[in-house]
Amino acid sequence: MNEQLAITEEISWTDFEKVLIVAGTVTRVEPFPEARKPAWKVWVDFGPYGERKTSAQIAALYSPESLVGRQIVGVINFSEKQIGPFRSQFLLTGFHTEQGVVITAIERAVPNGTRLA
């Protein structure tokens, strides 16, 4: 069976509510030459949750110029993760494709920090 088609364990609504998925605006993008796979260092303004940074393997499809000012969807309540010399503070959400990771898009602007409903 295809791994992507495998059914995972069901979770409760209470479990889902624990995941803080919010909108934020990319404020800065820098190269991450130490990463094993092509990646950017990305800083995002999450409004009342502050600015946070992450490493994102999105360099195949996105230039820094195409990301700055763009709203993204992030998970901001995972534990921080050390990625080489860089400390990742949130998960930038997206979808793996053969061409690279496609970031989760917001159809129209919402205030930074708005939680996924």
| In the predicted structure, residue 3 carries a pLDDT above the cut 70 | no
In a domain, 60, yes or no: yes
> Residue 8: which pLDDT band, with cuts at 50, 70 and 90?
confident
In a domain, 10, yes or no: no
Q: How many domains does the chain have?
A: 1
In a domain, 68, yes or no: yes
Range of the domain at 94: 28-111
In a domain, 33, yes or no: yes
In a domain, 9, yes or no: no
Give me the CATH number covering residue 78.
2.40.50.140
pLDDT per residue as tens digits for the range 34-79: 999 999 999 999 999 999 999 999 999 999 999 999 999 999 999 9
| pLDDT at residue 5, rounded to an integer | 62
In a domain, 8, yes or no: no
Q: Tell me the whole-structure pTM to 2 decimals.
A: 0.90
In a domain, 32, yes or no: yes
Decide if 68 contacts 26 (C-beta within 8 A): yes
